[in-house]
Structure 1
């Protein structure tokens, strides 16, 4: 019978890793959204695109990609599905046919108020105060900026 090998005290521990804390927290947050987003008929990725368009409509695919840290090869199939669902339209720019302009449809814009209602439920699921959530978000944005600058 094999005995458990003992690991040295200096072995990396999963629970001590920032990357794992971020990853597992992201999974937990995604689970919250998976319960809420069926009301909107959206996946989480589609929801993020809609959030960008609710802030500013009529953006290029590359503009959306910059906001979401995604490339156009990742976004294009997602946007095609959203167009098929009649949430957005995709039209080539008249001045540069390489650019595709994404615009909300009436039904896509109508989801905005339902999405706004969900925000209170997301905050409630965190069991944090609004100030705590804002502070955490600011720390994460600062961390993302530092990591992006270093890589």
Structure 2
């Protein structure tokens, strides 16, 4: 998702992020939750199935399985490495497998992501390579 706030809003957010108190493991999402607070309507968990739910409340995670539509990779990111560095497209599969080994509590979810990536690559591989070449 990309947002483009007006300049005054962005300046205010940037001024407050350094002193804001929010759970670091939830990154920018936690800051946005704190900043906008009661002004927003939160999506049902089915549309924001944050991996933190699985860690905090495994029973709730299992209960969401049938209705889950969007999985939010917060606790394990198969598409990033190290300190959030992007992974080159040709190394995504290998990286996802590495993250699945390292973050074994989320192995099932990472493998689901990996299967979706493989399908995306099969379907759009040529187009992805064109984009990557730019």
TM-score class, shorter-chain normalisation, is under 0.3
Normalising by structure 1, we get a TM-score of: 0.24
Normalising by structure 2, we get a TM-score of: 0.26
Query: Looking at both structures, which has the greater relative contact order when contacts are Cα pairs under 8 Å and sequence separation is at least 6?
Result: 1
Structure with greater Cα Rg: 1
